[in-house]
């Protein structure tokens, strides 16, 4: 385990019971840890999270560059931490192939969590692919609902978001209460930039999605992802043509 040069609290306020709001003491404790971890490295944040919440700690990954960086770190800190992928049925084959590379390299088994319907069943139910007309509904059905079930029994989840990715993400704390999923949310890379992430991947020869070398800086499902031009924002290729910028996992509303 990576050394954690910061003490974690020995007695922490009780985790909110089902259906109850977190107590002010609980939220204050998270805020205190978050403030302290602002200057910590991602590895130190992960080590703190693993020490405090494992085995009730989980992480959702779509195998983006940030997720791959965290998986590399977890491989050194605690490869037993639960990791899952929201397998919508619409992912690129290149994304699915990364799962095997990660398993071979780090011994981390990424569990694939699927919706209750196959793509064929879902599209038959809706008279065709609704990502073309109502991507919010599609993301809700094939990601949010699946995530809600996947995190049952866990106390904390990790995200690979960076504050500089979007206005929505700019306010994410290192550690906070995720009201939407009723979990402690830990964002070890909140303070990292895109350059930090890519330097880390290249320095450590971390496996990453080959589509990144073909003009796709941000990769989601294939119908909702396109390559971007040199001067475009890194997330401009997601849900291109819609106002939508997030699948809803990292927003505060209930979309
Ligand atoms: Fe559906 Fe697109 Fe959302 Fe994937 S990203 S779940 S295809 S709307």
SS (H, E, C) 172-232: CCCEEEECCCCEEEECCCCCCCHHHHHHHHHHCCCCCCHHHHHCCCCCCEHHHECCCCCCC
Say how many Å lie between the CA of residue 106 and the centre of ligand 1.
29
Under a CB-based contact definition with an 8 Å cutoff, are residues 146 and 91 in contact? no
pLDDT at 6: 52
pLDDT digits (tens, 9 = 90+) for 193-226: 999 999 999 999 999 999 999 988 888 999 998 8
Best CA proximity match to 186, nearest among 3, 40, 5? 40
pLDDT at 218: 85
Helix-helix angle 65-77:194-203, to 10 degrees: 50
Model pLDDT, residue 238: 75
Q: What is the pLDDT of residue 233?
A: 77
pLDDT of residue 5: 45
User: Ligand 1 pocket by C-beta < 6 Å: which residues?
Assistant: 88, 90, 131, 135, 138-139, 142-143, 220-221, 223-224, 247
pLDDT for 255: 41
Strands 183-186 and 156-158 turn out to be parallel
Position 182 scores a pLDDT of 93
Distance (angstroms) between ligand 1 centre and the Cα of 205 equals 30
- pLDDT for position 230: 73
- Distance (Å, rounded) from C-alpha 230 to C-alpha 65? 18
What CA–CA distance (Å, rounded) separates 53 from 72? Answer: 19
Quick check: 85 and 112 in contact, CB under 8 A?
Answer: yes
> What was the pLDDT predicted at 116?
96
Nearest to 163 by CA among 153, 172, 151: 172
Distance, in Å, from the CA atom of 174 to the CA atom of 171, rounded to the nearest integer, reads: 10
DSSP 12: -
Residue 11 pLDDT: 67
Domains of the chain: 24-224 (3.40.50.620)
Looking at ligand 1, which residue's alpha carbon is closest to its atom 3? Answer: 139
> What pLDDT, on the 0 to 100 scale, is given for residue 227?
83
Whole-number pLDDT of residue 239: 67
Task: For the chain of 255 residues, list the mean pLDDT of each consecutive stretch of 10.
Answer: 49 87 96 97 98 97 95 96 96 94 94 97 95 92 95 95 87 94 96 96 97 90 85 73 68 53
- What's residue 166's pLDDT? 79
Residue having the nearest C-alpha atom to atom 5 of ligand 1: 221
The two tokens of residue 64 are 């983006």
Q: Are 151 and 58 in contact, with CB atoms under 8 Å apart?
A: yes
Atom of ligand 1 nearest to the CA of 220: 5
Ligand 1 pocket test: which of 114, 116, 143 has the largest number of ligand atoms within 8 Å of its C-beta?
A: 143
Phi–psi pair at 138, nearest 5 degrees: -60, -45
């Amino acid at each position: 385990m990576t050394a954690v040069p910061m003490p974690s609290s020995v007695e922490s306020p009780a985790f909110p019971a089902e259906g109850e709001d977190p107590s002010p003491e609980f939220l204050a404790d998270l805020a205190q840890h978050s403030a302290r971890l602002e200057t910590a490295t991602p590895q130190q944040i992960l080590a703190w999270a693993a020490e405090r919440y494992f085995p009730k700690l989980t992480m959702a990954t779509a195998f983006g560059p940030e997720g791959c960086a965290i998986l590399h770190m977890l491989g050194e800190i605690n490869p037993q931490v639960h990791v899952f992928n929201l397998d919508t049925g619409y992912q690129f084959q290149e994304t699915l192939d990364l799962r095997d590379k990660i398993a071979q390299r780090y011994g981390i088994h990424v569990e694939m969590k699927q919706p209750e319907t196959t793509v064929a069943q879902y599209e038959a139910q809706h008279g065709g692919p609704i990502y073309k007309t109502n991507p919010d509904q599609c993301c809700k059905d094939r990601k949010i609902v699946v995530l809600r079930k996947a995190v049952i029994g866990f106390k904390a989840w990790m995200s690979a978001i960076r504050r500089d990715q979007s206005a929505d993400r700019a306010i994410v704390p290192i550690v906070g209460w995720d009201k939407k999923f009723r979990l402690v949310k830990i964002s070890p890379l909140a303070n990292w930039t895109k350059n930090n992430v890519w330097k880390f991947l290249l320095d450590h020869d971390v496996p990453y999605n080959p589509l990144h070398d073909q003009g796709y800086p941000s990769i989601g499902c294939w119908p909702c992802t396109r390559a971007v031009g040199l001067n475009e924002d890194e997330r401009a290729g997601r849900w291109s043509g819609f106002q939508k910028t997030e699948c809803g996992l990292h927003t505060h509303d209930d979309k």
